[in-house]
Structure 1
Amino acid sequence: MLNKSVTDSIRQSYKTLQDQLPGFIPRRAQNYLVAEIAKSLAGEYSDSNRMIVAEAGTGIGKSLAYLLSAIPYAKLNNKKVVISTATVALQEQLAHKDLPFYRRISPLPFSFIIAKGRQRYCCSHKLSLLTESNNEDDKQVALFTEKPKKKELDLLKRMYKALAEGKWDGDIDSWPTTIPSSIWQSIVSDKYSCHNGLPMHRECPFQKAREHLDKADVVIANHSLVMADIDLGGGVVLSEPEQTIYIFDEAHHLPNVAREHSSAAASLKGSASWLESLNKSVSKFCNLADQKRVNRFQNSLHEHIQELIPTLNQLSKQFDPTLFNDDGVYRFEHGEIPNWLAEQSKELKEVSTKANQALAKISDLISERMKDGELAPRMAEPALAEIGFYLQRLENLAQVWFLMAKPNSDKGAPLARWLEKSQDRDGDTFINVSPLEVGWQLDQNLWSRAAGAVVVSATMRALNSYSFFCKQAGISEKPEDGVRFLSLASPFNYQENAQLVIPKLPMEPSAAGFTDLLIEELPFYLAEQSSSLVLFSSYWQMNKVAEGIEKIVKKHGWNLLIQGQESRQEILKKHKKLCEENKISILFGTGSFSEGLDLPGNLLTNLIITKIPFGVPTSPVEEAHSEYIESRGGNPFMQISVPEASKKLIQSVGRLLRKEEDSGRVVLLDRRVITKRYGKALLDALPPFKRLIE
């Protein structure tokens, strides 16, 4: 049952909220969400499965709702709260707006902090090594994937100076310009060499960022970091799942993030190349360790590297070039690989695992000597940093071959396995493996262990059902399992403030002349509209239409802003300025503009969607998933494509009304919602716009 202390805290926060915000209007749906989250976490629906899945439409105020309910419950029950998002924008909103506001109205004091993964931070020791060395220094060359250029070294020196002077915190997101990937990979923090057990790393940005993590009551993370922690067993980076209330906002992204974390890829020639470099450095590393104890690990490592290199080089020649399609991809049907490759994968798994173990032992022996004072840190730490670089690569290589060698299960979906040929001169081959379904892993490693879970999004359902999401995310819909499902409609008055227009067009998007039709028809739906957003299915079509209507745009004095021509931030900045000056502004965008774009009031009154956002299964994983469904007698289009399109279409139309006083229209230039049998389900899943079907 819900503890009285928790309910008292929630009520007091809410009263303070009303007192501090003059003209505050209570939202019934928000209040209901607060109550249901609190009751779910308290075990009123299930003592063993304290979980709520809630779809809360735009305008309900779900962020404040889960803060009002989850934080008091966690504080009064000695639990931690981890809020996980899919986007940096929501992380920043929570850290700079929502949580500071809630802390002002909460009777319970609490602390919060943003947590980012290691990959977002530089290692200050690696950075110092690269800036203090010269171009020919072995340490420097080892840390770089390629020999550094002068401008790259200059950038590193500027970064080191800014870090040393306290003008930069070592976070890639806070550096004023984009840092090239090759540069960042040479200085990024890694779990092997950059840890606080080593004196020269205790002041590294990642370690500083983690200092207060264990003490914070609330941690703002992202889905990727939570998945990384769960993969490590949970409680390694974040708090133990058994002591944690997880809040997954933007939860519709979670299954894809989980799948990416369970995937692995490695190149053949590229791996052989860095193994050659490692082989040359083994003696150098071992000279720093206890000679009597390191000898057998040195021999083992040399032996396994010398077995891996020729095998990987030979393997790259064994794949028939005619197997690959025009994109340089060959996918193994049903995830089944030939027997010779299965046997080769088992051998490579064993050898790469043993090489990884031997190098890890050498690293441990060097660390041991340094801790015992037998080896100066200035000699040990550069070597440990370099070893860490190789350990990460060996670990990944072992994981690739572990997944390649893993037999397909009769119970679940097979692994997707495919090869990719690089398009450059060396023609390297990449081995790729990915699971198709990760729901069981999420259930086993997260949901069944968590002290409580709040799973929320504005677009969780597909075709008015949670089934598609629940299957992907491993959440049970069985009533006896006690998960609380809640669907809260947006408080906006769609009937009064918004209209959905479906014009009578002579052809559908699949027709060859549809792009030309868009060029002809689109100006009619842009005329007399001050702020428009047009969503396209592809960059090619968007640019083609932009080129086709260029003369009309100039003739009418319209301002056309096209995604890709400038940064998203710059485009939106110009759009807002034009709207403020009462000038006509038209945004052209693709799928990424259908989510996370906030244009309230007069910044958007005319939304045009050129076609239903069906995804074409072009990636090897999507193709493999479709193949698997077909093999079980299913229909991939109805089971994957239509539900995914439903979610994306809801996200797209969600760009129009952002506040209760907003108004406008949505124009859908795709008659298939009328002519096809799945169309009615897509329409009925949309908000209740006033409809005009021509």
Structure 2
Amino acid sequence: MTSPLENQVRDAFAQDGVLSQAAEQFRERGGQTEMAMAVARTIAGGGMLVVEAGTGVGKTFSYLVPALLSGERVLLSTATKTLQDQLFGRDLPRLVEAFALPVRTALLKGRGSYLCLHRLDMARHDASLPERGSLRTLAKIEQWSKATRTGDLAELPGLDERSPLIPLITSTRENCLGAQCPQFKACHVNLARREALAADIVVINHHLFFADLAVRETGMAELLPTVNVVVFDEAHQLNETGVQFLGAQLGSGQALDFARDMLGAGLQHARGLVDWQQLVAAVERAARELRLVVGKQWPGAKLRWLGPAPEGVNPEAWQGALDDLQDAFVQAADGLDTVSEISPDFVRLHERARQLAKRTARFAQPCEIDSVRWVDVGTQLRLIESPLDIADAMRKRVLKLAEPVESAEPDPYGDDEEDPEHGAVPPPEDDSRRAWVFTSATLGDDPTLRWFTEPCGLRDAEVLRVQSPFDYASQAAIYVPRAFPKPNDPSHSQQVAKLAAHGAAELGGRTLVLTTTLRALRTIGDAMRQHFELLENEARPEVLVQGELPKRVLMDRFREGASNGRAGCVLVASASFWEGFDAPGDALQFVVIDKLPFPPPNDPLVEARSQRLEAQGRSSFSDYSLPEAAVALKQGAGRLIRRESDSGVLAICDTRLVAMGYGRRLLAALPPMRRLETEADFESAIDALRKPC
């Protein structure tokens, strides 16, 4: 027997229902309705639902409509701020108006997304701004600060997300003064939290959710127990996001930032009362010594840390450096304690010093069970301890499938005190009725979606797979060049660039090249520019390379394509562009993937996960590496076809896809595009895409 909510949802998605009047070009889709009915059933009865919804299903409306019609309090979490802003600014208002619902919605992001009025005031008097242009940018921010209601930096046009000013005008958990701040009443972070607590629908992101799970600091402690429906969109990122927050990190950069803040506050509020120079010098010296103990390493190296010290590092020197750093933090805490009554800055700095000392002490002890520890080496040093997955935390602390140990979780850095602002986490009123929905376009390559459900602790969840409505066989083709260098051949990237440049020249740009490494990114970008130098200026596509411009600028420029008499664009990108980048229509018709995206075997986290599977008698390649590659490959391929009217060609420049037995499994995970077997087939497919610019 169907519930009243299911009946409402079915009516809403009917051809002549409310959605047909509210959404442009709406038409009834079987897959979208199927998913919406499953979500409605889960909301009505409680429980967990995992839905893989192919591109074009319309999964956003499939969970928003039943969530809104349920009348329950709802928490929506996304992986990216882009989708977060889209949900809050476009999709939710449209549906709330269409259904004439009296609901309040709120948007809640992490601290780093909001202007801190107190730190803006401090930045005005900072004599050491990072660069000359910062003064002009700061003036624009000051002018905007007088008009903004939310303080969300995403509203500020032209602000580069890489700007060195951002850390100076935003707060962190460590440097926020809380209720002692002179701007506390006007604080944008607190305003956003208050609005979230009063709202019926709250839109957050995965980072915020897990940050709160780790340190109970973002306001979720009060919010989550009052919510009966929780939806995680872009859920495929849930595990990797969670492990970032559920472990511990300590960086030499953190130590230097603390030292800088301590010196600034000391000289401003308590000059002469404490030898600030001595305390700061001790912290800076200890941080530098810790970095020197590691010695010369390749930039970006990840050092395994299985024993008392990272591999290749003298254990006695390493432990000595950790002890010295801990002592420096303890001495700083003692000095700050003597002046804590003078200014709230000193109270917060004292807490930071204690936390940093405890974190350092943690890294001087053996690694936690079922965790892995390593050191990231760059200009600065980062010590990292991470759980292998979020399954245990999800079962015991989120889904409550096991008896909770205490109402308040211990601080991951060893501080068992309650958060001074929020206190202990209250238990939910009735976990059995709460509905949990997890959805994404890619959640695995097997019918049970084990790649997703296992590390997220969701083995008992209902699983639903909804196929894309796109006609991939007619809309898209896949080409794997046979006569191609092997992926480890030094000439491989040059040949990728040659193939991509040829297609882009024929199409007038409209090409996205996705790489698996930053080295390949630079090599392919440079080689494509060299190829295009032979073309006439008006026919020369513009080559955009990730890292050379802010991500938002790259995406906007690419989507503009050929305009104002210019040729179209080629975007060469890695990592974050494999997913979440949407360029529908003619702006993108050729996607090139350089290699199969297997997880790097020498990464400590990947290595530890593989070893755990082997210890269980399972195959780390079949049960971990292959599913990881399948999901990433599916994400990358998904950039090509975004609408029912799109068309294009996907080229995967890795012969293992057709030469190795496991290639069949990877091909099966991709959308059912037609296969191009020969170079002539490829040329013909590209030629068919050519349109006058």
TM over 0.5: yes
| Change over 3 Å in CA distance of 1:359–1:631 after alignment to 2 | farther
CA separation of 1:38/1:392 partners in 2, compared to 1, >3 Å: closer, same or farther? farther
Residue equivalent to 1:405: 365
What is the deviation of 1:178? 2.9
Aligned to 2:306: 334
Q: Give the corresponding residue for 1:604.
A: 588
Per the TM alignment, residue 275 of structure 1 is displaced from its structure 2 partner at its CA by: 5.7
Native 8 Å contact 1:269 1:316 kept in 2: no
Aligned AA for 1:684? A
Map residues 436-475 of structure 1 onto 2, 5 A cutoff. Answer: 436-448=388-400, 451-462=434-445, 466-475=449-458
Contact 1:530 1:583 in 2 (8 A): no
Secondary structure, aligned partner of 1:608:
strand
The answer to whether the Cα contact below 8 Å between 1:553 and 1:560 also exists between their aligned partners in 2 is no
What secondary structure does 2:580 align onto? coil
Contact 2:336-2:350 within 8 A present in 1 as well: no
The change in CA–CA distance for 1:474 and 1:150 in structure 2 (over 3 A counts) is same
Query: 1:257 is matched by which residue type in structure 2?
Result: T
Distance (Å, rounded) in 1 between the aligned partners of 2:109 and 2:38: 30
1:671 equivalenced with 2:655 (yes/no):
yes
Alpha-carbon RMSD: 4.3
Which residues of 2 match residues 148-547 of structure 1 at below 5 A?
Answer: 152=134, 155-156=137-138, 159-163=141-145, 165-166=146-147, 169-176=150-157, 177-178=159-160, 183-191=165-173, 193-196=176-179, 200-233=183-216, 236-237=219-220, 239-244=222-227, 245-267=229-251, 271=255, 274=258, 278=262, 317=289, 325-327=297-299, 329=301, 331-334=303-306, 337=309, 366=341, 383-389=343-349, 391-392=351-352, 394-409=354-369, 412=370, 414-418=371-375, 420=377, 422=379, 430-448=382-400, 451-462=434-445, 466-476=449-459, 481=460, 483-522=461-500, 524-526=502-504, 528-529=506-507, 532-537=510-515, 538-547=520-529
Q: Label 1:692 to 1:166 Cα distance change in 2 as closer, same or farther (>3 A).
A: closer
What's 1:26 paired with? 28
> Would the aligned equivalents of 1:328 and 1:420 in 2 still touch at CA under 8 Å?
yes
Amino acid at match of 2:103: F
CA distance in 2, matches of 1:281, 1:21: 54
Question: Do the aligned partners of residues 321 and 227 (structure 1) sit closer, same or farther apart at CA in structure 2, a change above 3 Å counting?
Answer: closer
Q: Report the AA paired with residue 207 of structure 2.
A: S
* Number of residue pairs matched by the alignment: 631
- In structure 2, the gaps of 5 or more residues are 401-427, 679-693
Identity of aligned residues (%): 22
Letter paired with 1:327: P
1:143 corresponds to: none
Whether contact under 8 Å (1:335, 1:415) holds in the other structure is no
Q: Give 1:373's aligned residue.
A: none
Which of 68, 75, 78 in structure 2 is aligned with 1:85? 78
Query: What residue is the counterpart of 1:40 in the other structure?
Result: 42
Aligned residue number for residue 11 of structure 1: 11
Quote the offset at 1:5 in angstroms: 5.5
Paired AA for residue 471 in structure 2:
N
Change in 2 beyond 3 A, CA 1:527/1:550: closer
Segment drifting more, 103-112 vs 383-392: 383-392
Secondary structure of 1:213's counterpart equals helix
CA–CA distance in structure 2, aligned partners of residues 149 and 556 of structure 1:
36
Q: Tell me, in whole angstroms, the C-alpha distance in 2 between the residues paired with 1:650 and 1:525.
A: 21
Find the aligned partners of 2:554 and 2:278 in 1 and give their Cα distance. 53
Equivalent residue, structure 1, for 2:636:
652
Change (3 A) 1:400 1:463: farther
Task: State the 1:207 CA deviation.
Answer: 2.5
Q: How far apart are 1:104 and its partner, in Å?
A: 1.8
Cα drift, residue 508 of structure 1: 2.7
Q: 1:557 aligns with which of 539, 545, 548?
A: 539
Aligned to 1:98: 91
Q: How does the TM-score come out when normalised to structure 2?
A: 0.78
Q: Deviations over 1:457-491 (max 9, x none)?
A: 11111356522222332222xxxx3x111111100
Deviates more, 1:636-645 or 1:146-155: 146-155
Deviation larger for 484-493 or 318-327: 318-327
Residue 410 of structure 2 corresponds to which residue in structure 1? none
- Looking at structure 2, the residues matched to 352 and 529 of structure 1 have their Cα atoms a distance apart, in angstroms, of 60
**Partner SS, residue 472 of structure 1:** coil
- Shift of residue 390, structure 1, vs aligned partner: 5.2
Q: Distance in 1 between matches of 2:620 and 2:56?
A: 34
Structure 1, residues 597-631: CA drift from partner, whole Å, max 9, x if none? Answer: 22223223333333323343455544554565566
Pair 1:312–1:235, CA change in 2 (3 A): closer
Q: 1:599 to 1:55 in 2, by over 3 A?
A: same
Give, in whole Å, the separation in 2 of the partners of 1:248 and 1:614. 25
Secondary structure of the corresponding residue to residue 588 of structure 1: strand
Letter in 2 for 1:185: P
C-alpha change, 1:70 and 1:355, in structure 2 (3 Å) is farther
**8 A contact 1:278–1:390 mirrored in 2:** no
CA distance in 2, matches of 1:107, 1:330: 54
Q: How far has the Cα of 1:160 moved from its partner?
A: 3.5
Q: CA deviation at 1:58?
A: 0.9
SS at match of 1:212: helix
Q: Relative to structure 1, is the Cα distance of residues 314 and 196 closer, same or farther in structure 2, using a 3 angstrom cutoff?
A: closer
Q: 1:473 to 1:308 in 2, by over 3 A?
A: farther
Check 1:686–1:430 CA distance in 2 against 1; reply closer, same or farther (3 A cut).
closer
* 1:356/1:391 contact within 8 Å kept: no
Q: Which amino acid in the other structure matches residue 517 of structure 1?
A: Q
Deviates more, 1:121-130 or 1:269-278: 269-278
Shift of residue 360 of structure 1?
10
Structure 1 residue 34: Cα displacement: 0.8
| Helix, strand or coil at the partner of 1:202 | helix
Residue 371 of structure 1 aligns with which residue? none
Q: How many Å apart are 1:647 and its aligned residue?
A: 1.2
What is the DSSP-based 3-state SS (H/G/I as helix, E as strand, rest coil) of the residue aligned with 1:649? helix
Measure how far apart 1:531 and its partner are: 5.3
Contact 1:152-1:183 within 8 A present in 2 as well? yes
Asked if 1:642 is matched to 2:594, the reply is no
| CA–CA distance in structure 1, aligned partners of residues 497 and 378 of structure 2 | 38
- Cα separation, partners in 2 of 1:405 and 1:86, compared to 1, 3 Å: same
Mapped partners of 1:573, 1:319: distance in 2: 40
CA pair 156-663 structure 1, distance change in 2 beyond 3 A? closer
Structure 1 residues 178 and 81: alpha-carbon distance in aligned structure 2, compared to 1, 3 A threshold: same
CA distance in 2, matches of 1:622, 1:404: 23
Residue 328 of structure 1: CA displacement?
7.5
Q: 3-state DSSP class of the match of 2:436?
A: strand
Q: Distance in 2 between matches of 1:32 and 1:11?
A: 13
Structure 1 range deviating more: 385-394 or 573-582: 573-582
Please tell me whether Structure 1 or Structure 2 has the larger radius of gyration of its CA atoms.
1
**SS of structure 2 residue aligned to 1:460:** coil
